[in-house]
A = this chain, B = another copy of it.
């Protein structure tokens, strides 16, 4: 059964005021279009979880959608600070809950695996542990030493972007994998966006590449260029210019507000956004061709070997 719908429909159906949202993607496949639709729909009081909040959460916080942030690295990668997040935390407007990368992802691992906690080795840096009561310790029954444990993170809703998916949500992802698969399995609801909706035969030609199975997906949205200014491996490049420009834009709340007016509120959807970026940006971000060499799965319909 098809789960195809517009991104606007999917957000309306699956993202509610007060939800715990995880928009996944470690530096790659960050679903900006979904965040923009959430901003347009004026959803409030969201707890935003992401290892690396990136520009996507700087925008959601500046737009007033968020109540709390759960994170492990709050920087503009390769540039510097996330100014709106930083200001909101320094002023006390935004609650936060902080992890290191591995403890953050271990929470997703526990959530995705149905485990009540995940252990990790000690790191000796106890200041964060002291500030965040979610960290606990458990004695290793084999050695008597202590390990650090974190509880499962089970988002209400996760957004995952994929290069290609079929209409039931089986999705091929390649390039940097981040925490996509764990986030999808950890979540109560999953919105899948994709550069291309393909016939299921394309997916079935390479089942080992299907990192998100339709089984866990609630909505499938065809959203080309969903992840700009981040990127989609093989489809378009990262827009480093916008990441640099954001450092200026985000210096003031007003700067962000006028950016959001122009690039979010005044536009109906991602197609309009991409068109507005214009042909020069399209050209600049175009990805060349570097194809994987195929593998043979084998055709075993020959019944000869079954006459036993």
Chain A interfacial positions (CB closer than 8 Å to B): 114-121, 136-143, 145, 147, 149, 151, 163, 172, 174-175, 177, 202, 205-206, 208-209, 233-235, 237-241, 244, 283-302, 304-306, 308
Contact check, B147 vs A142: say whether CB atoms are below 8 A apart.
no
Q: How far apart are the CA atoms of A145 and B142 in the complex, in Å?
A: 19
Report copies per complex: 2
Question: In this complex, what residue of B is CB-closest to A285?
Answer: B305
> Chain B's nearest CB lies how many Å from the CB of A196?
11
Contact check, A306 vs B240: say whether CB atoms are below 8 A apart.
yes
Known contacts A114-B121, A119-B116, A305-B240, A298 near B293 by CB under 8 Å: no
Which B residues are in CB contact (< 8 Å) with A244? 308
Known contacts A138-B141, A305-B240, A290 near B297 by CB under 8 Å: yes
Mind listing 16 A-B residue pairs with CB under 8 Å? A116-B143, A117-B119, A117-B142, A172-B295, A205-B292, A206-B293, A209-B292, A234-B298, A241-B308, A287-B298, A287-B299, A288-B300, A288-B302, A291-B297, A292-B296, A294-B294
Contact check, A295 vs B291: say whether CB atoms are below 8 A apart.
yes
Report which of B290, B297, B302 forms a contact with A233, defined as CB distance below 8 A. Answer: B297
Q: How far apart are the CA atoms of A118 and B138 in the complex, in Å?
A: 12
Contact check, A293 vs B290: say whether CB atoms are below 8 A apart.
no
Which B residues are in CB contact (< 8 Å) with A120? 115
Which B residues are in CB contact (< 8 Å) with A115? 119-121, 147
Contact check, B140 vs A305: say whether CB atoms are below 8 A apart.
no
Which B residues are in CB contact (< 8 Å) with A291? 205, 294-297
Q: How far apart are the CA atoms of A40 and B178 in the complex, in Å?
A: 45
Which B residues are in CB contact (< 8 Å) with A308? 240-241, 244
Which B residues are in CB contact (< 8 Å) with A137? 141
Q: How far apart are the CA atoms of A305 and B288 in the complex, in Å?
A: 12
Which B residues are in CB contact (< 8 Å) with A121? 114-116
